[in-house]
Structure 1
Amino acid sequence: MAGEIEIVGPRDLATRADSFSMGLTKFLADLALPSEGILVNLAERAQVINNLPAAIDPLDGAKRLSALYVSKFIAAAAAGLFDAALNYLWDETIHNLRDKVARFDLAYFFDTVLTDPSTRSKFRDESDLAKLDDWQLVKGCRETGIITDIGFRHLDYIRDMRNYASAAHPNHNELTGLQLVSWLQTCIREVLGREPEGPVVEVRKLLHSLRSETLTKDDVPPIEAAVEHLPPDLARSLMRSLVGMFCDTQLAATTRTNIMLVAPGVWGVTDDDGRHEVGLKQATLSANGEATRAKLAREFLEHVGGLPYLPTDALAVEMGTAVDALNAAHGGWNNFHTEAGPARMLRNLVPQSGVIPRSVLQKLVKTVTMCRIGNGYGVSWAGTGTYDEIIALWTNDAAKAFVNLLNDAEFTSRARLGSCAARFKEIAQRLLDQVTTPAIKRVLEAIVAADNAVVSKLGNVTDFKNLLANVRA
């Protein structure tokens, strides 16, 4: 009947896509514009079209109706614009993550992602999520438990591909149909069709109780029992959120009292890096002239017995700021160029003795190492020399932090790339000549001897874990 929409199957759609391609190619040629290599060939498009029904099957009806960019992904893929399709898929993923964060707990998320107090104060509501770079959003969702470690690894890789092989960065990278539909499946399985579950849901319930109920001492034991089973990353994120709330000058008195009740238990399961982070936060607030919030942070530390974790001098605060700036540049656009400034600022703060304040040691070593191993497309040409200068000053303590990166989910995700693993091994080889502790040397030797494909998995190898245990002792 005239005017009705004709429904076609995958085979008919592929055939019509071919007719569209030929017509468009001729049209471009008539306009004297480039017409070769614009659209992906029909066979690759058919791989996407034929696998689409199974790929989107996990999405229920309600989620499908709101997945606007998935429709755009399909349209672009069918037309042969795979780079644009990947861009649309990433847009849908980011849109969905922002929605999950907003529905989950915004304050908890912001407290976890934004460790610099002055930056954190600028983020208040859902609209502020758009201010975050994509890498901050994805990383924050892993740290808060909204996505899994496995999901993070996949999304981190897809993000790299989107940045360097999509319409967002015009080039001639070849994307295959199977790659594209596989990434669609990954995004649906790990983000679009998945809701937070497990321990992170318990964290949300606890935060809700702290804000809306009046707790007593009798409520504390079951809370502490639940907190003891939190993964280290979630325990650290919960601690950040408690401190962030406690330092809010507008916080209700009941909520502040509730936090005082549960804080010792959470502090007890927070690792040393997380504790030093709280100490650094207090020092940063003080250095920034935020006297009231600094006083509250100190009160929190005193309550949990955390005063020994306060930085010993102002250098730690300046280093922390420089590391945050470098980390932001590394994860942002055009990082090969923009890393140079913050890298040099950090280098100027590292003393010739190589002694780095304990409160910033782990995140400094992680950030510099991540920058120096780069990504699948290389290392910042503007910052490489500076990173080498900083690494040349590292002592036993920094080397210990370096080898323990193999237990860090974000780092091991990057180290899965062969070129990054090779550069990590090069740093390990250099550190062998700098460290004096035999236990650390043995770990470094194991890293150097490992195949590139195995480096990211060393943290799960029994013999290597035993070597690391000796380093931590």
Structure 2
Amino acid sequence: MATIALWQPAPNEIVPATAKTPFAITDYALQLSKKDKQQIVAAFDSGHFEMGVTYLWGRTINALKKELSNVGVGLIGEMLGRTDVDEDDDINDILTEREAIRLAEELGVISSTDGMRLRHTYELITHFSQMDSDDGDLEKLNSHEALASLQTCVAGVLGRPKIEVATKFIEFRAALESKSISEDDPYVEMLKGSPYFFYKLTISVLMNAAKKNVGANLEHALANINTLVPALWDNLRHTERWQVGHAYAEAYADGKTTVVGGLKSALLKVKGFDFVPENLRSDTFVKAADAVIKAHEGLNNFYNEAAAVKALTRLGTTIPTPAFPACLSALLCVTLGNEYGVAWSAQAYAKSILDSITMERWAYYLNNVLPSDTRIFGKFSSQKPRANFVELVNAKNLSQVEFKNKTVQQLVEAAARSNESKLASIAAKMHEEYYGKLVKI
């Protein structure tokens, strides 16, 4: 049976191997002005590598976010699980650098290799920006790291006259909003056999369409919700089920009777009203979790995380179920840290909530959320987050959870045995299960 494949941009050779100097590499940066190029080259030539790379990074991430905004800010919010985002929001306010890179990979704007290199560049910038001034005199970004960062930014982003979101994504989204798909449409069977990423993307597109569309486009969106939600429901994880239920609760609170009717019909078909929150109290927790993520993935995260996590703890340790996936994911980000370590000032606050989580709730997260929590299992490519996960699994005795997902069970058991290489290998398997095998088109 045919499936939908994750698209990837063709390998780019924008910067040839012969370009080895800052001047030669920036010459291929079509999105940089002449003045930008001159400033970057001058910073590199004078040995001010951190200043040059930081300036370069600002131009790179702004170009990436600008292109992502073309798919719709509201949809970006849905893909991030952000209930408070609409089309009028500024893309720079809702996307962290890491989120921008991840979404760019998912939507085929950049290749997975470019994504990996861009993340490394961002981590370098973050690392050196967080160093104490005394340490900074001894350890500085060197010329090789700076040149590699320059090549990464130009080859992955700035060397293209305009980065275009993959045509397949545009067609995918347009089909869900512009025509009604019947139950026997080959597209339905194709979607059902595709990697989980496309389930999540379909739900995000449809919920966003129900929220923002009117007239014929709204009718098509609601018709497709009633076709595709029942078709996918049995295989949807709880994060996406809560997303549908929240959309219903939000539409009901806003008095959108047409949307309420369409979503109610779909939820009745799947007996899905268990996933409709009784009220929107969970939004407060989700927003607090978003603030933790923003602090964790932003610059100076080791300084900024504590205040954000403390604010989450003040809401109470009884987290509403609809907000639980977002909150635990945020707390795990703080607990696992990144390849440079953790924010020690935030650990006690995070621990106070993690200690209150029951084994049943850990089972809920591990079985129903972690398999699609790319932010968390993506951390296991770095040694320190792996080691921290091993410590967490053993401290919480998570290997005793009743597992329903075999891959997650293998992941936790590898951690329980302190087998970090196996843990990294299984995390890579989870990536493939979520996205499917990458193919070039």
Unaligned runs of 5+ in 1: 1-46, 466-473
- C-alpha distance in 2, partners of 1:204/1:231? 18
- C-alpha distance in 1, partners of 2:256/2:297? 29
Q: Is the 8 A contact 2:176 2:220 kept in 1?
A: yes
- State the 1:159 CA deviation: 1.4
1:251-400 equivalences under 5 Å are 251-267=213-229, 268-269=231-232, 271-272=236-237, 273-283=239-249, 290-293=253-256, 296=259, 299-303=262-266, 305=269, 306-311=272-277, 316-349=282-315, 351=317, 357-400=320-363
Q: 2:53 maps to which residue?
A: 86
1:221 aligns with 2:185: yes
- State the 1:51 CA deviation: 4.8
Q: Is the 8 A contact 2:292 2:308 kept in 1?
A: yes
1:87-236 equivalences under 5 Å are 87-113=54-80, 115-117=82-84, 120-121=85-86, 123-124=87-88, 128-132=90-94, 133-165=96-128, 171-172=136-137, 173-193=139-159, 195=163, 201-209=167-175, 213=178, 215-216=179-180, 221-225=185-189, 227-228=191-192, 231-236=195-200
- State the 1:235 CA deviation: 3.4
Q: Is the 8 A contact 1:220 1:262 kept in 2?
A: no
Structure 2 CA distance for partners of 1:65 and 1:366, relative to 1, 3 Å: closer
Q: 1:471 maps to which residue?
A: none
For 2:60, give the aligned amino acid: T
- C-alpha distance in 2, partners of 1:180/1:48? 17
Aligned length: 397
Structure 2 CA distance for partners of 1:363 and 1:130, relative to 1, 3 Å: closer
Could you list the per-position Cα deviations for residues 140-190 of structure 1 after superposition, in whole angstroms to 9, with x for gaps in the alignment?
Answer: 434544344444333233212112325999734322332222223333343
Candidates 390, 393, 413, aligned match of 1:425: 390
- C-alpha distance in 1, partners of 2:125/2:344? 21
Candidates 12, 17, 20, aligned match of 1:50: 20
For 2:118, give the aligned amino acid: L
Structure 2 CA distance for partners of 1:298 and 1:389, relative to 1, 3 Å: farther
- State the 1:82 CA deviation: 0.7
Q: Is the 8 A contact 2:226 2:265 kept in 1?
A: no
Compare 308-317 and 164-173 and name the one that shifted more.
164-173
Q: Is the 8 A contact 1:227 1:235 kept in 2?
A: yes
Q: 2:4 maps to which residue?
A: none
- State the 1:311 CA deviation: 2.7
For 1:410, give the aligned amino acid: R
- C-alpha distance in 1, partners of 2:131/2:63? 19
- C-alpha distance in 1, partners of 2:264/2:356? 32
Structure 2 CA distance for partners of 1:358 and 1:142, relative to 1, 3 Å: farther
- State the 1:80 CA deviation: 1.2
Identity fraction in percent: 18
Structure 2 CA distance for partners of 1:148 and 1:232, relative to 1, 3 Å: farther
- State the 1:254 CA deviation: 0.6
Q: Is the 8 A contact 1:376 1:420 kept in 2?
A: yes
CA radius of gyration, larger in:
1
Structure 2 CA distance for partners of 1:310 and 1:167, relative to 1, 3 Å: closer
- State the 1:259 CA deviation: 0.8
RMSD: 4.0
Q: Is the 8 A contact 2:49 2:141 kept in 1?
A: yes
Q: Is the 8 A contact 2:129 2:299 kept in 1?
A: no
Q: Tell me the TM-score normalised to structure 2 length.
A: 0.73
Q: Is the 8 A contact 1:48 1:181 kept in 2?
A: no
Compare 145-154 and 421-430 and name the one that shifted more.
145-154
Q: Is the 8 A contact 1:279 1:301 kept in 2?
A: no
